[in-house]
């Protein structure tokens, strides 16, 4: 029963070790690529809702 009460995050809080520079660079490049892909996707898909709403509105004169 006492094992269930142990907080697993306290084990993670131990001493942090530096990662090798090549691994750090690879992770940073992967994060940058993922961010670029997300920004490109939002650039092309962001205003579809506004476009459809604009097409559905009828103009009153």
Look at residue 1 and tell me whether its pLDDT is greater than 60. no
Confidence of residue 27 (pLDDT cuts 50, 70, 90): very high
Number of domains the chain contains: 1
- 3 found inside a domain: no
| Distances in whole angstroms, Cα of residue 46 to Cα of each of 6, 38, 40, 41, 52 | 44, 11, 10, 8, 12
> What would the two tokens of residue 40 be?
């490109």
- 31 found inside a domain: yes
Residue 30 is inside which H or E element, if any? helix 21-45
Confidence of residue 34 (pLDDT cuts 50, 70, 90): very high
Which residue has 């993922």 as its token pair?
Answer: 34
DSSP 14: S
Domain that holds residue 28: 20-61
């Amino acid at each position: 029963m006492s094992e269930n009460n142990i907080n697993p995050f306290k084990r993670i809080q131990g001493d942090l070790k530096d990662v090798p520079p090549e691994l750090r660079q690879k992770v940073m490049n992967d994060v940058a690529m993922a961010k670029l892909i997300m920004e490109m996707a939002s650039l092309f898909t962001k205003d579809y809702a506004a476009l459809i709403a604009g097409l559905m509105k009828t103009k009153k004169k």
